[in-house]
Amino acid sequence: MKIFIDGKYYSEQNAKISVFDHGLLYGDGVFEGIRAYHGRVFKLKEHIERLSHSAKAILLDLPMKRDAICKAVLDTCRKNDLRDGYIRLVVTRGVGTLGLNPNRCKRPSVIIIAGKIQLYPEEMYRKGMAIVTVATTRNLVNAVNPAIKSLNYLNNILAKIEANIAGVEEAIMLNQEGFVSECTGDNIFIVRGNQLLTPPLSSGALYGITRGVVMELGAKRGLEVAEVNMTRYDVYNADECFLTGTGAEVVPVVIVDGRKIGAAKPGRWTRRLIADYHALTKVSGEPI
Ligand code: PXG
Q: Do 12 and 99 fall within a single domain?
A: yes
Q: Can you give the CATH number for the domain in which 45 is found? A: 3.30.470.10
For ligand 1, atom 5, name the residue with the nearest CA: 185
Q: Do 70 and 150 fall within a single domain?
A: no
Which segments of the chain have a pLDDT < 70? none
The reply to whether 288 falls in a domain is: no
Residues 175/134, Cβ–Cβ less than 8 Å: no
Query: Among 118, 158, 187, which residue has the most ligand 1 atoms within 8 Å of its CB, making it the best to mutate?
Result: 187
Q: Do 35 and 60 fall within a single domain?
A: yes
Query: What was the pLDDT predicted at 117?
Result: 86
For residue 211 and ligand 1, the question of a CB distance below 6 A is answered with yes
| pLDDT tens, residue by residue, 60-98 | 999 999 999 999 999 999 999 999 999 999 999 999 999
Query: What was the pLDDT predicted at 120?
Result: 87
Q: Which atom of ligand 1 is nearest to the CA of 246?
A: 12
How far away, in angstroms, is 249 Cα from ligand 1 center? 10
Query: What was the pLDDT predicted at 102?
Result: 96
| pLDDT tens, residue by residue, 138-163 | 999 999 999 999 999 999 999 999 99
Give CA–CA dist 96/223, Å, rounded. Answer: 50
Domain hosting residue 197, numbered range: 122-283
The reply to whether 6 falls in a domain is: yes
Number of domains in the chain: 2
Q: What is the length of the chain?
A: 288
For residue 213 and ligand 1, the question of a CB distance below 6 A is answered with no
For ligand 1, atom 8, name the residue with the nearest CA: 245
Q: Which atom of ligand 1 is nearest to the CA of 205?
A: 1
The distance in angstroms from the start CA to the end CA of the chain is 17
Query: What was the pLDDT predicted at 225?
Result: 98
Domain end, chosen from 115, 137, 172, is at 115
Instruction: Answer yes or no: 116 catalytic.
Output: no
The reply to whether 25 falls in a domain is: yes
* HEC letters along the chain: CEEEECCEEEECCCCCCCCCEHHHHHCCEEEEEEEEECCEECCHHHHHHHHHHHHHHCCCCCCCCHHHHHHHHHHHHHHCCCCCEEEEEEEECCECCCCCCHHHCCCCEEEEEEECCCCCCHHHHHHCEEEEECCCCCCCCCCCCCCCCECCCHHHHHHHHHHHHCCCCEEEEECCCCCEEECCCCEEEEEECCEEEECCHHHCCCCCHHHHHHHHHHHHCCCEEEECCCCHHHHHCCCEEEEEECCCEEEEEEEECCEECCCCCCCHHHHHHHHHHHHHHHHCCEEC
Q: Do 102 and 129 fall within a single domain?
A: no
Q: Can you give the CATH number for the domain in which 227 is found? A: 3.20.10.10
Amino acid at site 219: A
The reply to whether 32 falls in a domain is: yes
How far away, in angstroms, is 116 Cα from ligand 1 center? 15
